[in-house]
């Protein structure tokens, strides 16, 4: 483990926490003996090494940072604790930045002269502009610092971005070379002064106290519920016992969309999102796969499906997963896809999905202009069947329904919606009938 120790600018700037870390480390590495703070190690008789020789052998600062990193990693073993001591806060050293990019497990302990009084318990460090312009995700459940809040404009943009993940009342420590104050996140852009040293620091947040949550909070909650001291019901569930939960939650989402109720949609989407997390944790317990594998699978699928965007593949157009001129291999791919489609899928939806996939490579059960002829022919065939020929009647009815789905698809109508609309219309008619029947009986 590498502990980065910020020595500050003067001999008295070393924090108490940093001194404790130095005392139990196996190897003390001081970046240079030319620093004003170097006397601390001499005065206290602390055994150490300096990297001044590496300075002399490096041709520029980029190679210096790389050489320092290689030296530290060469000394690091599984149980070796290394204190790497640098001038300044610990965060503003370029070699530390290089190390952090290549080994996120390091921990940084700031010099007390840098003003915050909060010593880092984790090397989670972010640059404000990365968050603003690159949409970098910021975990809200870890101690972290965000640097580079140089202007009011940067502060305002950062505030807006962070409020996606955090509540506006979240307490943060705003500090720079001139001031330090605990403020609300919502007031980040209302401070008196900003400069190159301005940063904000977050502490740990208790789950029960949070008002805004992320995907990672959901995973953490479910791990607690399935843990040793968790909920007996959650611990007892398997992928099989949760099958109907998946279907029911999906139908709740569809219903919320149909009735155009955003409140219900928000709530039902939450229930639905729980399902892949729950199932992934169950699978992880049996060492099959985890949520990262699930996310990787869908990301790879989306990138391949939209090759014209991500892979520069011009033969794949928007909305197309396959191109009709890509050879025999694509026919094999579609065949495997339709054969692998679950048979317990809702029948109408399965028929539609199969037709859409085979249509992408030019295969149609019936061309548009032949639809009515094929449907009429199948109706005539059904009419002439002996009702006792149950198996043949069932097959013919199925073929008729499949042709109807084909007609519906070619006219850009969703069969589930169409059938639901007809069912709703029937219920309205039945309500009128029941009302008339009730009136006659009075």
- Where a domain ends, among 181, 209, 237? 209
Look at residue 37 and tell me if it is in a domain. yes
Look at residue 94 and tell me if it is in a domain. yes
Look at residue 278 and tell me if it is in a domain. yes
**Tell me, what CATH number does 13's domain have?**
3.40.1010.10
Residues 204 and 222 in one domain: no
Query: Residue with structure tokens 């008196």?
Result: 192
As a whole number of angstroms, the distance between CA 110 and CA 201 comes to 12
9 in Cβ contact with 113 (< 8 Å): yes
**Tell me, what CATH number does 178's domain have?**
3.30.950.10
CA pseudo-torsion sign 273, 346, 360, 413: negative
Write out the chain's pLDDT in tens, 442 residues: 888 888 877 767 777 778 888 988 999 999 988 877 888 899 889 999 999 999 899 888 888 989 999 999 888 876 788 999 998 777 767 888 888 777 656 787 777 543 333 333 444 678 888 889 887 777 766 667 888 898 999 999 999 999 988 889 888 889 887 788 899 999 999 999 898 778 898 876 778 878 888 888 899 999 999 999 999 999 999 999 999 899 899 989 988 998 999 999 999 999 999 999 999 999 999 999 999 899 999 999 899 888 888 887 666 555 554 444 444 455 568 888 888 887 777 888 888 889 988 888 888 877 877 888 888 999 999 999 998 989 999 999 999 999 999 999 988 888 888 888 899 999 999 998 888 877 777 6
363: enclosing H helix or E strand:
none
Residue 96 tokens read as 């530390």
On whether the pTM is more than 0.75, the answer is no
pLDDT at residue 140, rounded to an integer: 66
pLDDT at residue 437, rounded to an integer: 77
pLDDT at residue 123, rounded to an integer: 42
How many structural domains compose the chain?
A: 3
- Where a domain ends, among 209, 238, 267? 209
Range of the domain at 191: 143-209
Look at residue 95 and tell me if it is in a domain. yes
Instruction: Tell me the C-alpha to C-alpha distance, in Å, between residue 120 and each of 78, 91, 137.
Output: 22, 10, 20
Contacts of residue 111, defined as CB under 8 A and 6 or more positions apart, other chains included, come to 6, 7, 8, 9, 13, 14, 15, 18, 88, 89, 90
**Tell me, what CATH number does 242's domain have?**
1.10.287.1080
Look at residue 276 and tell me if it is in a domain. yes
Look at residue 178 and tell me if it is in a domain. yes
Residues 181 and 272 in one domain: no
Look at residue 123 and tell me if it is in a domain. no
pLDDT at residue 286, rounded to an integer: 94
- Where a domain ends, among 99, 114, 129? 114
361 in Cβ contact with 330 (< 8 Å): yes
Look at residue 71 and tell me if it is in a domain. yes
């Amino acid at each position: 483990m590498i502990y980065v120790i910020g020595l500050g600018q003067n001999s008295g700037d070393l924090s108490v926490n940093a001194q404790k870390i130095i005392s139990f480390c196996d190897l003390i590495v001081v970046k240079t003996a030319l620093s004003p703070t170097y006397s601390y190690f001499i005065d206290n008789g602390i055994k150490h090494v300096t990297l001044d020789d590496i300075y002399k052998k490096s041709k520029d600062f980029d190679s210096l940072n790389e050489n320092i990193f290689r030296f530290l990693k060469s000394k690091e073993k599984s149980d070796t604790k290394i204190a790497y001591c640098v001038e300044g806060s610990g965060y503003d050293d370029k070699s530390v930045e290089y190390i952090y990019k290549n080994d996120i497990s390091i921990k940084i302990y700031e010099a007390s002269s840098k003003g915050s009084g909060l010593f880092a318990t984790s090397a989670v460090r972010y640059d404000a502009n990365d968050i603003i312009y690159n949409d970098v995700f910021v975990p809200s459940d870890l101690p972290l610092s965000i640097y580079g809040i140089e202007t009011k404009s940067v502060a305002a943009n950062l505030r807006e971005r962070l409020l996606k993940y955090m509540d506006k009342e979240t307490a943060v420590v705003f500090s720079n070379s001139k001031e330090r104050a605990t403020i609300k996140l919502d007031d980040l852009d209302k401070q008196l002064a900003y400069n190159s040293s301005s940063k904000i620091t977050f502490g740990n947040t208790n789950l029960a106290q949070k008002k805004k949550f992320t995907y990672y909070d959901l995973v953490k909650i479910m791990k607690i519920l399935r843990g040793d001291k968790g909920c007996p019901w959650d611990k007892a569930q398997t992928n099989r016992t949760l099958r109907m939960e998946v279907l029911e939650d999906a139908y709740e989402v569809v219903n919320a969309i149909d009735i155009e109720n955003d409140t219900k949609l928000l709530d039902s989407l939450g229930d639905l999102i729980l399902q892949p997390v729950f199932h992934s944790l169950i699978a992880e317990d049996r060492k099959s796969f985890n949520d990262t594998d699930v996310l990787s699978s869908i990301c790879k699928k989306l990138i391949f499906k939209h090759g014209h965007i991500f892979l520069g593949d011009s033969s794949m157009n928007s909305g197309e997963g396959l191109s009709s001129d890509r050879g025999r291999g694509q026919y094999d791919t579609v065949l495997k896809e339709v054969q692998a489609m679950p048979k317990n899928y809702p029948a109408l939806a399965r028929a539609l999905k199969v037709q859409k996939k085979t249509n992408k490579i030019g295969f149609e059960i019936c061309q548009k202009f032949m639809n009515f002829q094929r449907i009429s022919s199948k109706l005539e065939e059904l009419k002439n069947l002996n009702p006792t020929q149950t198996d043949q009647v069932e097959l013919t009815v199925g073929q008729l329904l499949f042709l109807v789905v084909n007609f519906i698809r070619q006219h850009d109508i969703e069969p589930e919606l169409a059938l639901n609309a007809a069912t709703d219309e029937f219920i309205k008619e039945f309500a009128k009938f029941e009302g008339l029947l009730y009136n006659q009986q009075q």
